[in-house]
Every structure is written in structure tokens, then in C-alpha cells.
Amino acid sequence: NYVLSRGGTRLIRKILIANNGLGAVKAIRSLRLWEYETFRTHDILHIVCMATEDDLKANAEYIRLADEFVTVESGSNRNNYANVDLIVKVARRCEADAVWPGWGHASEKPELPTALSETPSGIRFLGPPAAPMAALGDKIGSTIIAQAAGVPTIPWSGTGVAVDFASCNGIIPPDVYDSACLHSVDQAVEACNRIGYPVMLKASWGGGGKGIRKAASDEEVRAVFGAVKGEVPGSPIFAMKLAPPSRHLEVQLLADAHGN
């Protein structure tokens, strides 16, 4: 009745937390608080978490807060919290209704919501759908889409690259995307001269300071191009004019699948 009264279509009782550390702790505490304030009980939700041997040895708080845990492989997050196949496998095994990915790890991998939606029970992904995640999570793709929508952009290696905003539905043709990328040092130097120094060389899939370097001359571009490429292997690379006096302004939007 609660779900239907709010325009929902599905009851979510069991949630898999596909994350660890502070992110998982905050999620579980928030879920417990909402559960108690709404229903005056802690028996509505069943929370399952993934735990590596390292997390278990550390007696991690998020494991203690969960109702149940599933042991997963230790090591790099590619083996556990960023492993899409593993998360889907664990979610199916524990019969989760939904998966909360947290931040970092697999939270920005479009493959995760897609894979969950294709499971026999149609496990829900507590986050955005794959299409907008893919479009906005990629710096080159999101800038091309911004240009197509008429949003002013700083001069960059993809300046002038055009795509039909109305018909692309967030999916950029590979040849259009490729035309904004830098594939070699010489191409990077040529693009930077066209943009005008100083510039930032960036790996599109980078983040947290990885895959980004400032360059103020052709020599510096040649010196840092390899570093940008090496820090985020396989990522497309682009160049953008540096804006020294800029400030970071971000707008957060929260919506659900029912148009709210």
C-alpha cells in the first residue's frame, strides 16, 4: 500500500550494498533511519553487503551494520566492488530486489544498471539509467552533447564537432566522438596551438587528479602526453583551454523513474 500510494510499481525489501567503507556506512544508516521514521520498525528492509577478507579482518563498521554479508575476493577493486559481473552474481545469489552502488568503484559503470535490468527478476539499480550515465560520465561525450544543446563551451579539441541533439538520444556516433580525441603527440600539439596556450590535457575517463596535466608550450605537451595516457590506460584523450580564474559550480538533480 505504501509503494502504490506513492506511484511506485515494485516492493523493494532486500538491498545489496555494493560498496564498502564510509559510503556503505552512510547508506545503511540512512536506510535504517528512513525505515524507522516511516514504519517505526527495523523489520522492513534486509540489507546485505559485500565484504572482502581485509574488511572482515578490520571488523569494518558497515559489515556490523548490515543484516548479512557475502564474502568476495580481496585485492584491487576490479576484483570486488568495481566488478560488474561479480556484483550481479552476488545480487542474484542473495535474491536482492535492488543494488546500491555508492560512489566510486562500479557506481559510474553503465554496464551495471544494464546487467541488473537483464536479470530474470529485473533487479533495480538505485541510481541513474545506463544511457545518461554513459553520456554524462564521459568528459568528451558530455561536452559534445553540451555543444549540440547550444551550451557555450571553453575552446577544446572538439570545438565545432557537431551532432544532432534531438535525434542522438545521448548516443554519439563513434566517428563523431573520435574526431574530438587526440590520438598522437603531434595531433595534440596541433590541437593545442589551435586552442591557444595554456591548455589542460585530459584523459576522458580520468578523475581524482589522474590523467590531467597542464601544458604551456609544445615542449610541455610532448613531455606530459605520455603521462596522461599512462595514468588512465585505454582512455580517450582531449585538450581544453585552461581557465585560471574559474570556479567549480555544480547543480545536483534528483529524479525518479516516475517523473518526479
Q: Which of 103, 101, 109 is nearest to 49 (CA)?
A: 101
| Residue 202 and residue 154 in contact, taking contact as beta carbons nearer than 8 Å | no
Q: What is the pTM of this model?
A: 0.75
Q: Which of 259, 221, 226 is nearest to 240 (CA)?
A: 221
Q: Name 177's Cβ contacts closer than 8 Å, sequence gap at least 6.
A: 140, 141, 144, 236
Residue listed under C-alpha cell 564537432? 161
CA distances from 188 to 102, 129, 182, 232 (A): 35, 33, 6, 17
Give the span between the Cα atoms of 211 and 189, in whole angstroms: 17
The tens place of each residue's pLDDT in the chain, 260 residues long, gives: 999 998 888 899 999 999 999 999 999 999 999 999 999 999 999 999 999 999 999 999 999 999 999 999 998 888 899 999 999 999 999 999 999 999 888 998 899 999 999 999 999 999 988 887 877 778 898 899 889 889 999 999 999 998 886 776 667 888 999 999 999 999 999 999 999 999 999 998 877 778 999 999 999 999 999 999 999 888 899 999 999 888 888 888 888 877 78
Question: C-alpha cell of 233?
Answer: 590506460
